Amino acid sequence: MEEKKESVLETAKFYFLNQKYDKAIEIYLEGIKHYPNDAELFFNLGIVYESINDLDNAKQCFEKVLKLDKSFTLADAHLKQIIGN
C-alpha cells in the first residue's frame, strides 16, 4: 500500500511543479480517499491550495493535518501564517 501512496505523492508533485494545480488537487484528493488519515497527503494538498490562494481549503487541510499529527510543525506554521498569528 505504501507504494501507491508514494506514487500519489510523486504524481501530484509533478503536476504541482508544472503549475497544473487542478490536476495536483485531483491526485491528492484521490490519494486521500485511499489514505484518509495520512497527514502528509493533507499537508501537500494544503500547500497546493495555499499556492493558488484558496486559503479556506488550505486552512482546512492544515487543521486536519494537526488533528492527525499534533507534532507536524510545518502544518502549524502554515496555519498560523494563514490565520495571521
1 band by pLDDT with thresholds 50, 70 and 90: low
Q: Is pLDDT at 14 greater than 70 in this prediction?
A: yes
* Selection from 40, 80, 33 nearest residue 59 by Cα: 80
84 band by pLDDT with thresholds 50, 70 and 90: confident
pLDDT digits (tens, 9 = 90+) for 29-74: 999 999 999 999 999 999 999 999 999 999 999 999 999 999 999 9
Q: What CA–CA distance (Å, rounded) separates 23 from 11?
A: 9
Q: Is pLDDT at 7 greater than 60 in this prediction?
A: yes
Is this model's pTM higher than 0.75 or not? yes
Parse the chain into domains and list their residue ranges. 2-83
85 band by pLDDT with thresholds 50, 70 and 90: low
Statement: 2-83 belongs to CATH 3.30.300.160: no
